[in-house]
């Protein structure tokens, strides 16, 4: 079996296995992690920049980012020129915020128009059997996914980005 065929079969099996997970978002790579997740976050930020223009796009994280990949992703997105609204469980989406209350006789404060934020979530997981890592970024109702292989403590792409609209 050729390496390409093995990678394709492993990717399909890995993708189907991901459909059975019950916890929806986050970094599921078990510590101690020996791979550099910073490079993975940089690759993700580059792909987002190719699809959604920086300085014109605002992302709103829909999950906490306490892990190495999440912190690196936020840092890379900001360095690329994106506005990033970090996760706050008590805050509703920017589209669902209520207007400030007004009392009689007070002037109405008009806020400048802001661009709507795109909801952003991620799933990073690892299949120890095949050695594949999978990164999925969910942006609004779309998602992009890419598999990675570990070689010498470095993750290298094992395929192209796949985009689901």
First and final CA of the chain: distance in angstroms?
A: 32
Q: 58 is written with which tokens?
A: 């605002």
Q: What is the largest CA-CA distance in the chain?
A: 78
Cα 125 to Cα 103: distance, rounded to the nearest angstrom: 51
* Residue 4: predicted pLDDT: 62
pTM above 0.75, yes or no: no
pLDDT tens digit sequence for 8-34: 555 555 554 444 444 588 777 766 567
**pLDDT at res. 31:** 65
- Give the residue-averaged pLDDT of 94-114: 48
**Upstream peptide bond of 32 is cis (omega within 30 degrees of 0):** yes
Which position has the higher pLDDT, 134 or 99? 134
**What are the sequence ranges of the domains in the chain?**
3-89+113-164
Is the domain defined by 3-89+113-164 classed in CATH 3.40.50? Answer: yes
What is the pLDDT averaged over residues 143-165?
Answer: 90
Interstrand relation of 58-61 and 118-127 (parallel, antiparallel or unpaired): parallel
What would the mean pLDDT of 129-149 be, rounded to a whole number?
92
């Amino acid at each position: 079996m050729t390496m390409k065929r093995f990678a394709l079969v492993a990717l399909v099996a890995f993708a189907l296995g991901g459909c059975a997970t019950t916890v929806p978002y986050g970094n599921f790579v078990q510590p101690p992690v020996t791979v550099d997740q910073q490079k993975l976050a940089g690759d993700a930020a580059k792909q987002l920049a190719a699809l959604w223009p920086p300085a014109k796009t605002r992302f709103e994280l829909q999950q906490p980012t306490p892990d190495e990949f999440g912190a690196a992703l936020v840092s890379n997105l900001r360095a690329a020129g994106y506005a990033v609204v970090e996760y706050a469980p008590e805050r509703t989406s920017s589209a669902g915020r209520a207007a400030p209350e007004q009392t009689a006789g007070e002037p109405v404060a008009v806020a400048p128009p802001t661009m709507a934020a795109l909801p952003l979530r991620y799933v990073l997981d690892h299949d120890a059997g095949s050695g594949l890592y999978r990164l999925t970024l969910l942006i609004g109702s779309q998602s992009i996914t890419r598999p990675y292989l570990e070689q010498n403590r470095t993750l290298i792409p094992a395929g192209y980005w796949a985009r689901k609209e």
